[in-house]
Structure 1
Amino acid sequence: MIRFGMLLSAPMPPLDKVMNIAAMGEEGGMASLVVPDHTLMVPPGFTPSALSILSALAVKTRKVMLGTGVTDVVRYHPSVLAQFFATIDHLSSGRAFLGLGAGEAMNIVPFGLDWRMPYTALREGIEIMKRLWKGERVTFEGKRFRLRNAFLQIKPVQPSIPIYLGANGSKTRELAGEMCEGWMPIAETPETYRKNLRDVARGCEKAGRSLDEVDTALQIYTAIDPDPEKAMKKAWQFGGVIIGAVEKAEQAGYQLELPEDFSRKFYFEKLLVEDEMLMKFVKLSGLVTEEMVRDFFIVGTPEECIDRIEEFRRAGVRHFMIINIGPDPKYVLKVYAEKIIPAFS
């Protein structure tokens, strides 16, 4: 079964409009609402607390899954996330999921947070949260976390909160297959998704699981318009996400002439605290071609977008988490509700 969800992406409009957009998405057949958890955001703008927004959505919606896309165990201790998502699960009558990642430099480095051993912290955090959700008293001696007879006084409505890993590297993709209920990367082409899904499958095999036990999702930008050139013009403005995923662009066969000192980690550590670096990033985004945007995004007329979604479906995507960047966002939602979702039902 193919499902569609929607990211309520920062920078955001005023929060009353966010609630209205969420309601439109649910009414239009979206299966999930995803809130990116950022302290700082590129491009800069209004960036409220994702966890607070989820609390509001839990009581404003009735059917959709609700989760982050993604949060981390650097800014929040695993016990804090475990308690929060168990609470959201009660508020939403069992509709919470936890989108999790290793952390992003823009949210961590400027604030002086301890980011040692990110993979280790992620793996330990997943184990701790799963044990706490089961109602265990947890004693844990890890390299990043230590708990002594720790427990929660709330359990989720679900047997456990599904964890979706926003894994964009081979090691974390394998972890998604080994320990998590979903994989939700960003910036993939059908070709790279098909290849990278093998890492998830390898993790499943390692844990004695079937890949069918993992919800294979994708966060993906979408711009739809009766005029395909108009849709492309708007989508191209968001091409910087491909620069931020330069390894996948290369994996897809694109060669970007980037500065020798470029690395995703280097740029994203300084992007929001140094104006010069932000301007360099904007300039680099101009290297992204329409062909690349068409390969990484869902863009064009409704018919073209249905064909594009089918390519991603054949690559293994079962849950499309769209980021609506259309020239007319209401038109995009209407197309998904009336044409795209029914076409894949």
Structure 2
Amino acid sequence: MAAENPTSSDSSGSNGSSDSSPTWGIELTPEHPPDRIADLAALAETEGFDVAFSSSHYFNRDPFVTLSRMAERTDSIALGPGVVNPFQDHPVTLAARMATVDEISEGRGVYGIGAGDRSALSNLGFEHDRPLRRVLEAFSVARDLWAGETVTHDGTFTAQDASLNLEPTEIPVYVGAQGPHMLRMSAKHADGVLVNASHPRDLEWAADQLEIGLADRPDDRGPFEALAFSSVSVADEEAAAREAARPPVAFIAGGAAPPVIERHGLDEAAVETVGRHLEAGSLSAAFEAVTPEMIDAFAVAGTPETVADRFEAILEFVDGVVVGSPLGPDLEVAVEQAARALEQAQV
């Protein structure tokens, strides 16, 4: 896998403009032991997924350790963190860990990097200062290090004569983004973007922001791929799928910006209630406070047929879909059903 062809879809732009097949991605959350996540990655590869991300949250298992197990169990699927942030780990250290994953997977690495969750970083005592600049500097320095350069950097972080004792490599960079400025930056500088959205309305808006960034993209940067990084829950019973979507939807709703809430016509008081419960650490109450309208706005949840219809609508605006947490009430079944839904969405 090369940086100019980040995934197997050979995508050339955003907004679903490519004539090639959409990229299929999956997010595997290491809230389970690495061996189980590796089994799920192997299943995803068998089911035709192009890339598997191991999500990164300080309260779960380490994503890079998990990725090493995923690499052992797979042969062709691209692998990477989805996504790390350059606040709780130094960008040079992240670059070394990512290069190691690329090495052990024989060139299948994909670097998912973003600004991180403000509340989670606050729990660890990290300031969320100048996130766009920090992300851009972090992956720019990583690219230089992967190319075998010795780097001295003085910006949002510092590095003095840093280099990696690894063979030079090229690793595609995908930026996790949701706000307008991060979306535009990713389109200008990165190889791809992971748009944190599940609804076509949000992805249509994001596509407009990406077009602004692409207008300033250097000609020598290569193709750019936009992927919807969507919260997905699929099951035979729609009620079971929607119930499993409550936890991720609560966290998404609790951190949603006012324009997003307004875009979906959500009850502001109901959203605030979810946020208050989360801030108080009352997770069960927060999940219970999630409304059906929030699930509709912030997740792709339902039967395989329902999910396929939503995927088809999403693919009007992006080059592919990353099937994100929670996947569904039964993980193995959900991987298979999500693959069928993606197939159906392309018919």
Structure 2 residue aligned with 1:18: 37
Partner amino acid, structure 2, of 1:174 = R
Structure 1 residue aligned with 2:68: 55
Q: Tell me how far 1:38 sits from its aligned partner.
A: 1.1
Structure 1 residue aligned with 2:228: 218
Q: Tell me how far 1:216 sits from its aligned partner.
A: 1.0
Structure 1 residue aligned with 2:12: none
> Deviation string for 1:223-281 (max 9, x for gaps)?
22333233223334543033234222333332321587x897x987xx4xxxxx112x6
Equivalent of 2:91, from 78, 90, 98? Answer: 78
Q: Tell me how far 1:317 sits from its aligned partner.
A: 4.5
Q: Tell me how far 1:114 sits from its aligned partner.
A: 4.8
Q: Tell me how far 1:96 sits from its aligned partner.
A: 0.5
Structure 2 residue aligned with 1:91: 104
Partner amino acid, structure 2, of 1:150 = A
> Deviation string for 1:300-319 (max 9, x for gaps)?
22222211110000122423
2:260 is the alignment partner of 1:241: no
Segment of structure 1 superposing worse, 210-219 or 25-34: 210-219
2:329 is the alignment partner of 1:319: no
TM normalised by structure 1 equals 0.83
Structure 1 residue aligned with 2:281: 278
The answer on whether the counterparts of 1:99 and 1:166 sit within 8 Å (CA) in structure 2 is yes
Structure 2 residue aligned with 1:36: 55
SS state of the match for residue 166, structure 1? Answer: strand
Equivalent of 1:193, from 191, 198, 203? Answer: 203
Equivalent of 2:267, from 255, 259, 264? Answer: 255
Structure-1 separation of matches of 2:247 and 2:83: 23
Equivalent of 1:129, from 142, 161, 164? Answer: 142
Q: Indicate how the Cα distance of structure 1 residues 229 and 113 shifts in structure 2: closer, same or farther if over 3 A, else same.
A: closer
Q: Indicate how the Cα distance of structure 1 residues 98 and 304 shifts in structure 2: closer, same or farther if over 3 A, else same.
A: same
The answer on whether the counterparts of 1:216 and 1:317 sit within 8 Å (CA) in structure 2 is yes
Structure-1 separation of matches of 2:239 and 2:168: 47
Partner amino acid, structure 2, of 1:120 = R
2:343 is the alignment partner of 1:331: no
Structure 1 residue aligned with 2:157: 145
Equivalent of 1:170, from 171, 176, 180? Answer: 180
Q: Indicate how the Cα distance of structure 1 residues 208 and 234 shifts in structure 2: closer, same or farther if over 3 A, else same.
A: same
Structure-1 separation of matches of 2:171 and 2:253: 33
Structure 1 residue aligned with 2:18: none
Structure-2 separation of matches of 1:196 and 1:338: 26
Structure-2 separation of matches of 1:211 and 1:217: 18
The answer on whether the counterparts of 1:201 and 1:211 sit within 8 Å (CA) in structure 2 is no
The answer on whether the counterparts of 1:240 and 1:282 sit within 8 Å (CA) in structure 2 is no
2:22 is the alignment partner of 1:2: yes
Structure-1 separation of matches of 2:271 and 2:26: 34
> Deviation string for 1:22-45 (max 9, x for gaps)?
2212211121111111113xxxxx
Q: Percent identity?
A: 24
SS state of the match for residue 323, structure 2? Answer: strand
Q: Indicate how the Cα distance of structure 1 residues 134 and 267 shifts in structure 2: closer, same or farther if over 3 A, else same.
A: farther
Structure 1 residue aligned with 2:212: 202
TM normalised by structure 2 equals 0.83
2:200 is the alignment partner of 1:181: no
Q: Tell me how far 1:66 sits from its aligned partner.
A: 0.7
Partner amino acid, structure 2, of 1:77 = H
- For the aligned residue pairs, the C-alpha RMSD in angstroms reads 2.9
Q: Tell me how far 1:67 sits from its aligned partner.
A: 0.8
Q: Tell me how far 1:222 sits from its aligned partner.
A: 2.2
Partner amino acid, structure 2, of 1:110 = N
Q: Tell me how far 1:176 sits from its aligned partner.
A: 0.7
Segment of structure 1 superposing worse, 240-249 or 206-215: 206-215
The answer on whether the counterparts of 1:187 and 1:241 sit within 8 Å (CA) in structure 2 is no
Q: Indicate how the Cα distance of structure 1 residues 307 and 148 shifts in structure 2: closer, same or farther if over 3 A, else same.
A: same
Structure-2 separation of matches of 1:7 and 1:318: 13
The answer on whether the counterparts of 1:256 and 1:287 sit within 8 Å (CA) in structure 2 is no
Paired residues in the alignment total 325
Structure 1 residue aligned with 2:4: none
Structure 2 residue aligned with 1:309: 311
The answer on whether the counterparts of 2:95 and 2:146 sit within 8 Å (CA) in structure 1 is yes
